Amino acid sequence: MKKYESVIIVNPNVDEAGLKALEEKFTGLINENGKVESVENMGKKRLAYEISKFNEATYMLFNFEAKPDSIAELERVYRITDDIIKFIVVKKD
C-alpha cells in the first residue's frame, strides 16, 4: 500500500451535518481498500478564482494509505458527488 493525500473542495452551502456525512462517506470508501490516517476540516476559505459560481468553499484534507488500483474508484465517486466542486489525489513519497 502507498501513502496518499487528497484535498476536496466542498460547496460552501453544505452545513456541518453535510460535511460530517461527506467525511464518513469517503472515510468508509477509503477504509474498504486501505486505511485513513487523518482527516482535517480546514474550514471555509476564499478561492483564488471563481469555481462553479462560488467565491469561497470548504476544504477537507484526507491522509491515507491505499492500494493504487483503488484510487480510480475514489476519484470516480468524487466526480459524481454533487457537493464536491474540485478534488485532487496526490501520492506521497
Q: Which residues are within 8 A (CB) of 45 and not within 5 positions of it... i.e. 6 or more apart? A: 56, 57, 58, 59
Q: What is the pLDDT of residues 21-50, one digit of tens each?
A: 999 999 999 999 899 999 999 999 999 999
Which residue is listed with cell 462553479? 52
Report the CATH number of the 2-91 domain: 3.30.70.60
Closest CA to 87 of 4, 18, 24, 13: 4
pLDDT score, position 33: 86
What digits encode the pLDDT tens for the residues 59-76?
999 999 999 899 999 999
Kindly tell me the sign of the dihedral angle through the C-alpha atoms of 22, 34, 63, 69: negative
pTM metric for this prediction: 0.88
